[in-house]
Amino acid sequence: MMYIAENEIWKLLETVFDPEIPVLNIVEMGIVREVNLNNNACEIKITPTYSGCPAMNTIENEIIKVLSKAGIKSVKVEKIFTETWTTDWIGQDARNKLRKYGIAPPEGESASDFYDNILTKNITCPYCKSTNTELTSEFGSTSCKSLHFCKDCHQPFEHFKCI
Ligand SMILES: [Zn+2]
């Protein structure tokens, strides 16, 4: 009988992506809060991102699939709601990845009123770094992103809202 180590579990979890942000895995997103390993049974604690985010069930199923494939017999995914996920949990490397992908990362600290934030602030263009941008829609392809247009390089881009 071979047991898998906890750091291997984390590595496997890094292969699971948030379908709404396909460039960041769930560990980079700060979604995975805890890994508890007991022999060959595994319990993963995750914090849902945006409340009611339909991606959470997909993520949960994907975690079970990936870990089962690796030979873990019992996988339990528990959603924790005692902590509120915030974009502050997205690390600096992950923010750079977002920018390279063409999504402006959340700017600064989480805003208690993010609507106010995106409506009044000119989000930095991920392509040319210009702040000469405008908000074109509060909702992009998913509700956690807003749509902007850069007046300098004339490209539309998405912005990961700050919460
Ligand atoms: Zn630009």
Task: For residue 59, give the amino acid letter.
Answer: I
Q: Indicate if 124 and 72 belong to the same structural domain.
A: no
- Split into its structural domains, the chain has a count of 2
- Residue numbers of the domain that contains 67: 6-79
Q: Indicate if 57 and 108 belong to the same structural domain.
A: no
Q: d(Cα 73, Cα 68) in Å, to the nearest integer?
A: 6
Query: What are 147's strand-pairing partners?
Result: 137, 158
> Regarding predicted confidence, which is higher, 119 or 60?
60
Q: Indicate if 14 and 69 belong to the same structural domain.
A: yes
Order of strands across the sheet that contains 133-137: 103-104, 156-160, 145-150, 133-137
Position 33 scores a pLDDT of: 93
CA 143 to ligand 1 centroid distance, Å: 22
Q: How confident is the model at residue 82 (pLDDT cuts 50, 70, 90)?
A: confident
Please say if the pLDDT value at position 116 is more than 60. Answer: no
Q: Indicate if 58 and 110 belong to the same structural domain.
A: no
CA 105 to ligand 1 centroid distance, Å: 14
Which of these three, 79, 107, 135, is where a domain ends? 79
Q: How confident is the model at residue 110 (pLDDT cuts 50, 70, 90)?
A: low
- Specify the pTM: 0.78
Q: How confident is the model at residue 102 (pLDDT cuts 50, 70, 90)?
A: very high
